[in-house]
Amino acid sequence: MNLSDILTGERVEVRASVPDKAGVLHAMAELLEGVAPGLDAERIVEVFEEREALASTGVGSGVAIPHGRVDGVPSLVAAAMIVPSGVDFDSIDGRPVQIVVALLGPRNLDHLKALHRVSRVLRSARVRAELVTCADGAEAYALLLDADR
């Protein structure tokens, strides 16, 4: 599985700022809205919040990977957002999050493969540094796909 299999350019954006963790989850849900019939942003937020209630998906190094599983989504999908100014996300290292990649999929194991893939791409300090300087979603999308090769 490659990022290009689950992420589209329309679901990647750069935002100057986001007020808080709840704002991040809402923004990601809006990017993913419409991936399945009848699945709206509010339901997606609920799915992400249920997962966040277990433990923060702020994995450290300025990265968060909110994710969840929900019936009705035919296959795994992703969205990404870059917030250069950072946002508090209750990350394990206490640092603000600048890079968010959200995963939403059906109740199967594909999300584990995707979590591994996203983590591998964002492990690179160079990739993270370049992402937070992207001017727009198209540039960030191209960088993510290039880093995944």
Residues known to be catalytic: 67
The DSSP annotation for 42-105 comes to HHHHHHHHHHHHHS--EEETTEE--EEE-TT--S-EEEEEEEEEEE----TT-PPEEEEEEEEE
User: CB of 34 within 8 A of CB of 66?
Assistant: no
CA distance 13 to 3: 15
